[in-house]
Amino acid sequence: MKQVAIAAAIVTAALAVTTSGQGVQRAGLNPALERNKDVLERYFTLADKGDVAGLAGVVGAGYIEHASYAADGRDALLKRVTENLQVDDAGARRERSELIRMIAEHDQVWTYSRVNAAGTAIARIEMFRLEDGKIAEHWTVQEKVNRERTNANDQWAVGKGPRSVEGQPKRVSKAVSPAELERNKLVGRLLFQYAEATDTVERKKLLDIATPEYIQHNARGSDGIQAFTTRPNPLPHHMNVRMLAEGDFVWSLNVPDFAQGAREGIERVNFNQWRIENGRLAEHWGTYESVPAQRLNTNDFLGYGRTHTRDFTR
């Protein structure tokens, strides 16, 4: 009986460490990162309801905004959440966001969401930095969804062909070692290194770092990596601004023709999501924004802190 009781206690303890306030927490995942993701799930829920009092509890008083469409500060964020509840004459809400998935590393959580802005579908990537359990800083890359597709893959869901995100997890379900995370990031960086190569032999190395079935979710993209190896000109140089990895996902913020310092003109920003399979790129989603020179805040679109001059130090 004593052995049975001990065994039962072990099972109970194991179950306890795999549960969190938001549901099942899979064994091996970082509890601190899961808590940060709890904050973001709560943020999306409260924003959808327009609960500004609740949001004030998860957003820091010194909140820094970098998104091109938003004014700086927590008060401006809360005002925008209230305005998003408004409906037009046709009954369409100004904006509603649906969280599709997210990854976390260090003090950041990045999210991919489907936005309905009064009937206009928008793909939105949001990058959140947390401090003391609250959202402290925010960046966004977004674009209107192109309804004309050259592939049969869903804009949002994981997998090949027509799929639905309904029932797909919003959180990473696979725990990997720090060494594997770094290897996954390297594969993402190698894509640009090889695709930007003027030497076609070097460019063909893309075939070694992607699966033959490489699934493309960009509306105008085609499945497979082969097109990158045979294009007449290499890709322009893309600066890797920052990269996050968790489980079998690597997400990367990139800027073509990057320049340090203040930027006065329109700047094209690329955001890439990859799913990694056996150390190779298996699936890709891209989000692209042309950032206007005139924005609703003066913080640099990519840098940290309240500064118009680009600064990636922290």
Residue 2 has pLDDT above 50, yes or no: no
Task: Please give the average per-residue pLDDT across 121-144, as a whole number.
Answer: 97
Q: Residue 312: which pLDDT band, with cuts at 50, 70 and 90?
A: low
Task: Please give the average per-residue pLDDT across 44-53, as a whole number.
Answer: 97
**Domain spanning 178-291, CATH class:** alpha beta
CB 240 within 8 A of CB 312: no
Specify the pLDDT at position 256: 84
Inter-residue long-range contacts of 294-299, CB under 8 Å, 24+ positions, other chains counted: 295/68, 295/69, 296/68, 296/69, 296/70, 296/71, 297/65, 297/66, 297/67, 297/70, 297/71, 297/72, 298/72, 299/64, 299/65, 299/66, 299/72
Residue ranges of alpha helices (H) inside the chain are 2-17, 31-49, 52-55, 74-83, 178-195, 200-203, 206-209, 226-230
Question: Strand, coil or helix: what is 4?
Answer: helix
> What is each CA distance from 175 to 12, 103, 222, 314, in whole angstroms?
21, 12, 30, 27
Short-list 81, 126, 76, CA closest to 99: 126
Q: Which pLDDT tens digit goes with each residue over 211-244?
A: 999 999 999 999 999 999 998 999 988 989 999 9
Tell how far CA 257 is from the center of its chain.
22
Is the CATH number 3.90.650.10 carried by domain 29-144? Answer: no
Q: Which two tokens stand for residue 190?
A: 């190698």
Using alpha carbons only, give the angle 156, 302, 280 rounded to the nearest 5 degrees: 45
Specify the pLDDT at position 12: 41
Q: Residue 38: which pLDDT band, with cuts at 50, 70 and 90?
A: very high
Distance (Å, whole) CA 82 – CA 220: 35
Q: Which pLDDT tens digit goes with each residue over 241-285?
A: 999 999 999 999 999 876 554 456 678 899 999 999 999 999 999
Task: Give the chain's mean pLDDT.
Answer: 88
Specify the pLDDT at position 26: 57
The DSSP code for 299 is: S
Q: What are phi and psi for residue 258, nearest 5 degrees?
A: -65, 145
Specify the pLDDT at position 89: 86
Question: Which one has a higher pLDDT value, 27 or 242?
Answer: 242
Q: Which two tokens stand for residue 235?
A: 């890709």
Q: Residue 74: which pLDDT band, with cuts at 50, 70 and 90?
A: very high
> What is each CA distance from 79 to 47, 142, 195, in whole angstroms?
11, 20, 43
Specify the pLDDT at position 25: 47
Distance (Å, whole) CA 73 – CA 71: 7
Q: Which pLDDT tens digit goes with each residue over 84-104?
A: 999 998 889 999 999 999 999
DSSP states along 22-48? TEE--TTS-HHHHHHHHHHHHHHHHHH
Specify the pLDDT at position 265: 66
Specify the pLDDT at position 168: 96
Same fold, 29-144 and 178-291: yes
Specify the pLDDT at position 83: 96
Specify the pLDDT at position 10: 38
Specify the pLDDT at position 103: 98
Non-local CB neighbours of 82 within 8 Å, separated by 6+ positions: 50, 52
Report the 3 state secondary structure along 152-201. CCCCCCCCCCCCCCCCCCCCCCCCCCHHHHHHHHHHHHHHHHHHCCCCHH
Q: Residue 136: which pLDDT band, with cuts at 50, 70 and 90?
A: very high
Q: What are phi and psi for residue 137, nearest 5 degrees?
A: -155, 150
Bridge-based pairing of strands 267-277 and 96-105 is unpaired
Residue 20 has pLDDT above 60, yes or no: no
Domain ranges of the chain: 29-144, 178-291
Q: What are phi and psi for residue 131, nearest 5 degrees?
A: -145, 120
Percent helix, strand, coil in the chain, to 5, is 25, 35, 40
